Amino acid sequence: MNTPGRIVLIRHGQTDWNLEERLQGATDVPLNDAGREQARAAGRHLRAEDLGWDVLVSSPLGRAVETARIIGDALGLELAATYDELVERSFGPHEGSRLGGLEGSARELILSAGEPADAVARRGLAALRRIRDEHPGRSVLVVAHGSLIRLTVSELNGEAHPRVRNCEVVPVRTEALGAARLRDDVSESTAP
């Protein structure tokens, strides 16, 4: 297929921990009713755009899978696969901690104890490349998580991406995936 395809990232809908400003990370927290409505609204928006989506995939965490299924219902798409590489950034024992009201060093201490940001970005890029390679020329909706999306898109675009809202749709520059792969290959081949 000669068409380049398209990938769009969507953050899952709201959970109670989002509402309470708790750090979720890889903890499997379910959507709340507001999150389900956000997913339905995202599905209606994507259906109204009528851009011809072919494939729907997600992180394996329940909040992403449920969001994907709700969006899929609106678009007539089944969830095709889940990708472990799309799981949210892990914060280990700090998951469940309240970040609301924390400032400066206290907040940074908790966040810095998590999975390194560059590792999350590499994992996210690997997932996008895999999705692109497994669905060449297709239009793919990918439901994932806020930090993973923000860090991955920041790395891909070479500039900081802002915080991603629940059910926000973030287009991926698929041509940059090829450039990122080329940069990785060149640096690997020139490494001592």
Q: Each residue of 133-144: b (16+ CB within 10 Å) or e?
A: eebeebebbbbb
pLDDT value at position 3?
63
For residue 87 the two structure tokens come to: 């799981």
pLDDT value at position 182?
37
pLDDT value at position 189?
32
Q: What is the mean pLDDT of each run of 10 residues along the chain (192 residues)?
A: 80 98 96 98 96 96 98 98 98 92 88 94 97 96 98 96 98 83 37 36
pLDDT value at position 179?
57
Neighbouring CB atoms inside 10 A of 93's CB total 8
Residue 67 and residue 40: Cα distance in Å, rounded?
8
Q: Identify which of 126, 112, 124, 106 has the alpha carbon closest to the alpha carbon of residue 164.
A: 124
Q: Which letter does DSSP use for residue 86 in this model? A: G
Query: Token pair 């070479």 is at which residue?
Result: 158
pLDDT value at position 74?
97
Residues tagged active-site:
12, 88
pLDDT value at position 188?
38
Q: Each residue of 17-51: b (16+ CB within 10 Å) or e?
A: bbeeebbbbbbebebbeebbebbbebbeebeeeee
Query: Which H helix or E strand runs over 55?
Result: strand 55-58
What pTM was computed for the model? 0.90
Q: What are phi and psi of 12, to 5 degrees?
A: -60, 165
